[in-house]
Amino acid sequence: DTEVTQTPKHLVMGMTNKKSLKCEQHMGHRAMYWYKQKAKKPPELMFVYSYEKLSINESVPSRFSPECPNSSLLNLHLHALQPEDSALYLCASSQGLAGYSDYEQYFGPGTRLTVT
Amino acid sequence: AQKITQTQPGMFVQEKEAVTLDCTYDTSDPSYGLFWYKQPSSGEMIFLIYQGSYDQQNATEGRYSLNFQKARKSANLVISASQLGDSAMYFCAMRELLGNNDMRFGAGTRLTVKP
């Protein structure tokens, strides 16, 4: 099973709303990632969790708050977002630990977020 | 700092023909991995092929092969016998041994397969 699942598939939220994106994998991967992808652009790394601990935060605004409750789950909590935050949010996982360069990342289908 | 360059914003290929998508990279790390991903219009990123910096042979996966020229720092993707379903965005990516698991992507190439 090489599946990463993400919910919801689509989300429309107002700037004052609080919502959460969810990601799940059952491949035993110990690294999980959040990416943001704007239209016609490559994915941009937001956060990396390694062994359920936040290892990379790419200077993401605090209105995005990641959470890794256990090794299979990754959440992204959203609060007071701006219209420019509208994008495709991709979750990924990999076996790779720090110090390994060869493990591919498996991506979920993404959540298309629209902030109104 | 690592950098990935894909110079072809768009490419067209006739069905059943082969096509090469270019990728060059820049890194000072001697150990790194190179990846190609396909992204159809539906949005999911699909892993295609991997090449390690110390691999002696070019990677192949079915109709996909990677033309790895280490001295030139290039890792071009070759798709043989193109199919209509190959129409998608293709991203080249790299991860360094010392890179803390972060994968950096090139700008992408949109491939259109013509019937």
Distance of residue B54 Cα from the nearest chain A Cα, in angstroms: 11
- Interacting residues of A1 by C-beta distance below 8 A, sequence separation 6+: A26, A27
Q: Which residue has the tokens 């270019």?
A: B22
Instruction: Encode pLDDT of B86-96 as tens digits.
Output: 999 999 999 88
Q: Which residue has the tokens 């420019």?
A: A84
8-state DSSP, A52: T
Rounded CA-CA distance A39/A43 in Å is 10
Contacts of residue A96 in chain B, CB cutoff 8 Å?
A: 95, 101
Contacts of residue B52 in chain A, CB cutoff 8 Å?
A: 101-102
Cβ–Cβ of B99/A109 closer than 8 Å?
A: no
What are the start-end ranges of the H helices in chain B? none
Q: How sure is the predictor about A97, in pLDDT bands with cuts at 50, 70 and 90?
A: low
The HSE-up count of residue A74 (CA atoms within 13 Å, CB side) is 35
Residue B1, beta-bridge partner list: none
Share of chain A above pLDDT 70, in %: 92
Q: Which of A96-100, A103-107, B55-59 has the highest mean pLDDT?
A: B55-59
Cβ–Cβ of B33/A41 closer than 8 Å?
A: no
8-state DSSP, B15: T
Distance of residue B30 Cα from the nearest chain A Cα, in angstroms: 11
Cβ(B52)–Cβ(B2) under 8 Å?
A: no
Residues of chain B with pLDDT under 70: 1-2, 99-101
